[in-house]
């Protein structure tokens, strides 16, 4: 970490907002003053300005029982009404909500009036299937408009969605369905990826094959037209929607009504169901979407490239932009198919003004070279955003120069599944930006950098990132596990939230993120747990023991590298190379392709302390080809020499 700190300390480039941008900026500098003067009043004002409340709230925050917060508790609203109906009623029904671009090049533009009608139909279908407020609905869909429609239909009924990323396996799907006791699954026959149809429905069938799940029906969107097996519980989405009325009056629900559960990796093997509720979540996602992305809803075309299976897709594809009445691009597919200029073609086609993506994508484009984006007209772009992992200054500069024509502000946004919405970011038109720094807490958010004992850390030293006051979009808990919620985030610093990230403050008070300090890896901006992959590896009959580390990777940020000891009884079974292929495939089928290790090293020993704890730090040195660090606390100091020999 110290190498990185030294490197970042020398970063001295600064970009002041241009006078033209500053003059038209949506965010005003007074936001900081207002929030500093009265933080709770600031958030109450945002909630009233940005949202429609059926019952106005009188109470802003209740923090009398930390870490369990309530925001706007006695108010009531309907989240879907806020994202849809009210824009139509305000005369903006003809505005495009979604410019959907399918992977094979098919496309569809959907106005707010059309989207509202579709969501009403879908809500009526869900009612017919017995979905009520509080019920959980699992959504396992590709990036098609139906994903957005399904989420909003569930929200409209006060029910709770659990979106599961389409790349997760049947087993991951099943454990999430079980954990939340979902009553219904909404899926598709498949989606398109890299020029090919890739099936989704078989994973749902496999997940439900044992027949003892809580799921009563599966609604199936027809996307690829591929063959599907049909079970009694299955219903076609298009048949059901065609038969449903497009009138549905949204009922208000309390501000603290659960909105969704989203599973994310933690430091143990079992993914956590992060719970978000309605009023506070929608307030902060709408506020940040508007001010961080300088939103001009009448003229902007916004594009967030995240999948709806991740938190970024929830807050900055669905809830933030739609609450603000924005026009956006929804994209199915990958950046490089059918050609490496596909994204830039989409930007040219829709005259995208605002692009929000991840550093891993930017680094991939850097490798391909600037000649590819330069073949397209990107002059519509006026703002660029980054999220998901630390962005190195070189990638930040390339993004600004090559994609942003040396003009556009770049905002690096730090936040998490748990925080629900952006917490740290420059505000365009106000902040003087620094390549590589996420910069400052947004107005109304309190961030500190502390050492292990809770003392403030300054002077460029690395410490732990902490949120010191509750915030509107904060997670309300881990589904079904209040103890784990307390232990994971709150036990360390009392009533302050421990994020799990390292950070430092520079002499201006700007925040530089330094990566995770726990056993969570970040691969292409996706969170993976070392423990989860280890437990998948040891579940295989060949494996005796396994240790997983996140090794630095030029493109993906980190890569999964595993060290595996084969059971003595299995040693003859296969050559080492085969074993590694078998185990990589095993992890992909158990968890999902995103978790497949880049490399698996077969070793005879793992480095352990005298108390038996695996020293991952040393394995990371091996995986990154570095000289091995201090081994004096190992039970057997010769182990690392043996391992290095075996890895070479």
Binding residues: 193-196, 312, 388-390, 412-417, 501, 516, 524, 527, 538, 540
The closest alpha carbon to 46, from 277, 297, 291, 413, belongs to: 291
Distance between CA atoms of residues 583 and 588, nearest Å? 9
Q: How many CA atoms lie within 13 A of 188 on its CB side?
A: 23
**CB nearer ligand WTA, residue 390 or residue 592:** 390
In the complex with ligand WTA, the residue whose CB is nearer, 549 or 603, is: 549
* Residue placing its CB nearer to ligand WTA in the complex, 201 or 314: 314
Residue 390 sits in the site that holds ligand WTA (CB under 6 A): yes
Rg (alpha carbons) of the chain, rounded to whole number: 24
Q: Which stretch binds ligand WTA (CB under 6 A): 46-54, 97-105, 149-157, 387-395?
A: 387-395
Among 311, 402, 403, 595, binds ligand WTA (CB under 6 A): 311
Q: 424 Cβ partners below 8 Å, 6+ apart?
A: 413, 414, 415, 438, 439, 440, 441, 442, 445, 447, 511, 513
Q: Minimum Å distance from CB 628 to ligand WTA?
A: 26
Q: Cα(197)–Cα(514) distance, rounded to whole angstroms? A: 38
Binding positions for ATP are: 388-390, 412-417, 501, 516, 527
Question: Closest CB to ligand WTA among 244 and 438?
Answer: 438
Show the 3-state SS of 516-578: ECCCEEEECCEEEEHHHHHHHHHCCCCEEEEEEEEEEECCCEEEEEEEEEECHHHCCCCCHHH
Cα(468)–Cα(63) distance, integer angstroms: 12
Burial (CB < 10 A; 0-12, 13-18, 19+), residue 227, is exposed
CA distance 293 to 315: 13
Task: Examine residue 414 and tell whether it contacts ligand WTA (CB under 6 A).
Answer: yes
Q: What CA–CA distances, in Å, run from 65 to 80, 470, 473, 511, 601?
A: 29, 12, 17, 30, 48
Output the smallest distance, CB 339 to ligand WTA, in A. 28
218 or 421: CB nearest ligand WTA: 421
Which residue lies nearer to ligand WTA by CB, 305 or 522?
Answer: 522
Under the binding rule (CB under 6 A), the answer on residue 501 touching ligand WTA is: yes
The nearer residue to ligand WTA, 175 or 416, going by C-beta atoms, is 416
Distance, CA of 647 to CA of 372 (rounded, Å): 38
From residue 211, alpha-carbon distances to 172, 214, 599 in Å are: 16, 9, 36
Task: Kindly tell me which residue out of 27, 69, 117, 387 binds ligand WTA, with binding defined by CB under 6 A.
Answer: 387
Q: Is 88 helix (H, G, I), strand (E, B) or coil?
A: helix
Does the footprint of ligand WTA cover residue 392 (CB under 6 A)?
no
Nearest-angstrom CA–CA distance, 367 and 363: 6
417 makes contact with ligand WTA (CB under 6 A):
yes
Does 438 sit near ligand WTA (CB under 6 A)? yes
Please write down the HEC assignment for all residues of 609-640: ECCCCECHHHHHHHHCCCCCCCCCCECCCCHH
User: Residue 513 interacts with ligand WTA (CB under 6 A)?
Assistant: yes
Which of 60, 416, 536, 590 is the binder for ligand WTA (CB under 6 A)?
Answer: 416
> Residue 279: which of 65, 25, 73 has the closest Cα?
73
Answer whether 376's CB lies under 8 Å from 352's CB. no
Minimum CB distance to ligand WTA, residue 145 (Å): 23
2 or 371: whose CB is closer to ligand WTA?
A: 2
Q: Considering the complex, state which of residue 253 and residue 415 has its C-beta at the smaller distance from ligand WTA.
A: 415
Q: How many residues bind ligand WTA (CB under 6 A)?
A: 22
Q: Is 237 left (phi over 0), alpha (psi -120 to 50) or beta?
A: alpha
312 near ligand WTA (CB under 6 A): yes
Return the number of the residue (169 or 529) whose C-beta is nearest ligand WTA: 529
Q: Which of residues 525-544 bind ligand WTA (CB under 6 A)?
A: 527
Which of 111, 357 has the CB closer to ligand WTA?
357
Q: Is the peptide bond before 450 cis (omega within 30 degrees of 0)?
A: no
Instruction: Give yes or no for a contact between 533 and 587, defined as CB atoms under 8 angstroms apart.
Output: yes
Tell me the window of 1-9, 292-300, 385-393, 399-407 that interacts with ligand WTA (CB under 6 A): 385-393
Among 42, 415, 485, 493, binds ligand WTA (CB under 6 A): 415
**Is 168 near ligand WTA (CB under 6 A)?**
no
Question: What separation, in Å, do the N-terminal and C-terminal C-alpha atoms of the chain show?
Answer: 25
* Contact call for residue 278 and ligand WTA (CB under 6 A): no
Among 158, 252, 500, 592, binds ligand WTA (CB under 6 A): 500
What secondary structure letter does DSSP report for 598? Answer: S
Contacting ligand WTA (CB under 6 A), which of 258, 325, 388, 420? 388
Cβ 301 to ligand WTA, closest distance in Å? 22
Candidates 135, 163, 129; CA nearest to 149 is: 163
Pick one of 118, 240, 412, 448: the residue that binds ligand WTA (CB under 6 A): 412
Residue with token string 């002059």: 379
Task: Enter the tokens of residue 443.
Answer: 């107005």
Q: Which lies closer to ligand WTA via its Cβ, residue 120 or residue 289?
A: 289
| Least separation in angstroms between CB 622 and ligand WTA | 23
In the complex, least distance from residue 552 CB atom to ligand WTA, rounded to whole angstroms = 14
Beta strands in 4-135 (DSSP E): 61-65, 68-71, 76-77, 96-101, 107-111
Query: Which of 362, 639 has the CB closer to ligand WTA?
Result: 362
As a whole number of angstroms, the distance between CA 269 and CA 543 comes to: 17
439 near ligand WTA, judged by CB under 6 A: no
Does residue 284 bind ligand WTA (CB under 6 A)?
no
| Nearest-approach distance from CB 346 to ligand WTA, in angstroms | 22
Site map 232..271 versus ligand WTA, x via CB under 6 A? --------------------------------x-------
Q: How far is the CB of 341 from ligand WTA (least distance, A)?
A: 26
- Whichever of 237 and 471 has its CB closer to ligand WTA, that residue is 471
Taking the complex as a whole, how short is the minimal distance between the CB of residue 31 and ligand WTA, in angstroms? 20
Question: Which residues are documented as binding site for Mg(2+)?
Answer: 538, 540
> Could you tell me which stretch among 178-186, 349-357, 408-416, 580-588 binds ligand WTA (CB under 6 A)?
408-416
* 372/319 Cα distance (integer angstroms): 32
Q: DSSP letters along 299-329, please?
A: T--EEE---TTSHHHIIIIIIHHHHTT--EE
Shortest Cβ 246–ligand WTA spacing (Å): 34
Contact residues: ligand WTA, CB under 6 A: 264, 310-312, 387-390, 412-417, 438, 499-501, 513, 516, 522, 527
């Amino acid at each position: 970490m110290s190498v990185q700190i030294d490197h970042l300390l020398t970063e001295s480039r600064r970009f002041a907002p241009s006078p033209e941008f500053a003059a038209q900026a949506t965010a005003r500098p007074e936001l900081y003053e207002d929030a500093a003067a009265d933080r709770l009043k600031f958030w109450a004002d945002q909630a009233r300005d940005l949202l429609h409340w059926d019952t106005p709230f009188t109470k802003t925050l209740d923090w009398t029982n930390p870490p369990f917060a309530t925001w706007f508790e006695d108010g009531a609203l309907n989240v879907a009404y806020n994202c849809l109906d009210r824009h139509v009623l305000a005369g903006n029904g003809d505005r495009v909500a979604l410019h959907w671009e399918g992977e094979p090049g098919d496309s569809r533009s959907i106005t707010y009036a059309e989207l509202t009608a579709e969501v009403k139909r879908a809500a009526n279908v869900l009612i017919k299937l017995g979905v009520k407020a509080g019920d959980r609905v699992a959504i396992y869909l590709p990036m098609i408009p139906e994903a957005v429609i399904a989420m909003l239909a569930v929200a409209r009924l006060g029910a709770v969605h659990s979106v599961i990323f389409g790349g997760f396996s049947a087993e991951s799907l099943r454990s999430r369905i079980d954990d939340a006791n979902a009553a219904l699954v909404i899926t598709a026959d498949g989606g398109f990826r890299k020029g090919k149809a890739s099936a989704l429905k078989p994973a749902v069938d496999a997940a439900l094959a044992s027949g003892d799940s809580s799921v009563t029906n599966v609604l199936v969107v027809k996307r690829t037209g591929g063959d599907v097996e049909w079970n009694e519980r299955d219903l076609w989405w298009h048949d059901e929607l065609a038969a449903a009325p497009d009138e549905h009056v949204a009922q208000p629900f309390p501000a603290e009504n659960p909105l969704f559960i989203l599973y994310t990796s933690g430091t143990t093997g079992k993914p956590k169901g992060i719970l978000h509720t309605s009023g506070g979540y929608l307030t902060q996602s709408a506020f940040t979407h508007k001010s961080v992305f300088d939103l001009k809803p009448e003229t902007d075309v916004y594009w967030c490239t995240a999948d709806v299976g991740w938190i970024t897709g929830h807050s900055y594809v669905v809830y933030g932009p739609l609450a603000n009445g924005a026009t956006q691009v929804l994209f199915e597919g990958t950046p490089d198919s059918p050609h490496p200029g596909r994204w830039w073609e989409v930007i040219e086609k829709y005259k995208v003004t605002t692009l929000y993506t991840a550093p891993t994508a930017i680094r991939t484009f850097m490798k391909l070279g600037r000649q590819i984006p330069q073949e397209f007209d990107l002059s519509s772009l006026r703002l660029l955003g980054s999220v998901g992992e630390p962005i190195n200054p070189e990638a930040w500069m390339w993004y600004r120069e090559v994609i942003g024509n040396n003009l556009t502000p770049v905002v690096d946004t730090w936040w998490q599944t748990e925080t629900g919405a952006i917490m740290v970011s420059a505000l365009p038109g106000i902040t003087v930006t620094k390549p590589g720094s996420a910069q400052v807490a947004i107005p109304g958010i309190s961030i500190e950098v502390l050492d292990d004992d809770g003392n403030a850390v300054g002077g460029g030293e690395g410490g732990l990132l902490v949120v010191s006051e509750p915030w509107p979009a904060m997670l309300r808990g881990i589904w079904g596990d209040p103890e784990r919620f307390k232990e994971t985030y709150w036990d360390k610093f009392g009533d302050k939230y421990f994020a799990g990230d390292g950070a430092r403050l520079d002499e201006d008070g700007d925040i530089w993120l330094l990566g995770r300090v726990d056993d969570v890896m970040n691969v292409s901006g996706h969170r993976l747990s070392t423990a989860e992959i280890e437990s998948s590896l040891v579940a295989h009959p060949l494996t005796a023991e396994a240790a997983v580390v996140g090794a630095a990777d030029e493109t993906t940020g980190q890569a999964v590298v595993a060290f595996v000891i084969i059971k003595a009884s299995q040693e003859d079974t296969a050559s080492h190379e085969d074993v590694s292929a078998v185990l990589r495939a095993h992890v992909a089928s158990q968890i999902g392709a995103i978790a497949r290790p880049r490399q698996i090293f077969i070793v005879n020993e793992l480095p352990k302390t005298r108390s038996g704890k695996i020293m991952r730090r040393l394995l990371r040195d091996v995986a990154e080809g570095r000289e091995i660090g201090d081994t004096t606390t190992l039970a057997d100091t010769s182990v690392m020499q043996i391992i290095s020999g075996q890895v070479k």
